[in-house]
Amino acid sequence: MIRVLVVDDSLFMRTMIRDLLEKDPDIEVVATAIDGIDALRKIDEYSPDAMTLDIEMPRMNGLEVLKKRMQATRFPKVLVLSSLTSEGAEMTRTAMALGADDFMLKPRDTSALRGIGRELTDKIHNLVRIAYVRRVERPPEALADRLVVIGASAGGPPMLDLLLSSIESPLPAAMVITQHMPEGGFTASLATRLNRISPMPVKETESGDALLRGNVYISKGGYHTVIASHVGEKGERGGRIIHSQSPPLHSVRPAVDRTFSSAATTFGNRVVSVILSGMGSDGGEGMAAVKQQGGSTIVCSEEDCLVYGMARSALSRNCVDKVLPLQQIGKEIARTVAGMVN
């Protein structure tokens, strides 16, 4: 059973959230709390696995609760339930920066609230599953002999949330994600957020990083991510990250084509390449290079993408093995990587 604490200052909301959660036979709401002070006391008393957290509450609000987590010896996974207002959205961003694990919108309309039950229970299951996987199944820090590369631009970040959270256990491969973002800490923030919802540790790339099995790397904004050959301490062959400030390609840096093409050169047929949503043509040439080396190529289906320019660029080169809905891509990556010869 997953033990959950529901925190909200509204009796109506506490009741509704509790009812929605307890429709899932694997979830038990062990307690509810009316504000942050009450929540901290009940965390100590009940030791819940997860907590739904309102932000705007009297006495102690949700942000103040999150500030206390660093002082706690044990703290539940936190799902922030945020209102649809612009003020609520800003506070949600602050909550994520303070360490909340995930968030979802809390409709004000009663009928709409009843419709979020499945999303709510899925998110609770996902947060607790990831905590368990990281605790029990953390892969050894071995040099990866297989590589997954993912490219995205406009519309990419929310797709990355869903893709990474759909992977059920750490991959026997490294993963490099090149998401078009400018300099200024944006890719570092993306890595921090994805690290909370991924079964694998996620970090922003640093030049010289060895590509380790079961780890995810987010291409640093302002630099091309180039995959170079690397020999480990035991003579094993793999790859490492090299940052390049060569001119932008397709008017962007990092460019997906640079990551994909260099991955194909270094890892040959042990590459799985994926293109998600994005405008422009970046990624098509790199995916063709992966295909030429015998690697696997996947693009997301158009109905799941905000913009289909990057995927269409790959499709126009006849180098795509599979076009899949977003919800199937994570499992296909895992299946393909597992099938590669050691």
The answer to whether the beta carbons of residues 258 and 248 sit under 8 Å apart is no
* 35, 101, 282, 304: the active-site residue: 282
Our answer to whether residue 282 is catalytic in this structure is yes
CA dist., res. 193 & res. 4, Å (int): 22
* 82, 101, 165, 180: the active-site residue: 180
Q: Exposure string (b/e) for 90-102, b if CB count within 10 Å is 16 or more?
A: ebbeebbebebbb
Task: Write phi, then psi, for 62 (nearest 5 degrees).
Answer: -65, -35
User: 3-state SS of the chain: helix, strand, coil percent to 5?
Assistant: 40, 25, 35
Phi-psi region of 309 (alpha: psi -120 to 50; beta: other; left: phi over 0): alpha
* 9, 24, 153, 257: the active-site residue: 153
Our answer to whether residue 153 is catalytic in this structure is yes
Residue 341, judged by CB atoms within 10 A of its CB (0-12, 13-18, 19+), counts as: exposed
Name the nearest CA neighbour of 323 among 342, 303, 340.
303
Q: Which residues are catalytic?
A: 153, 180, 282
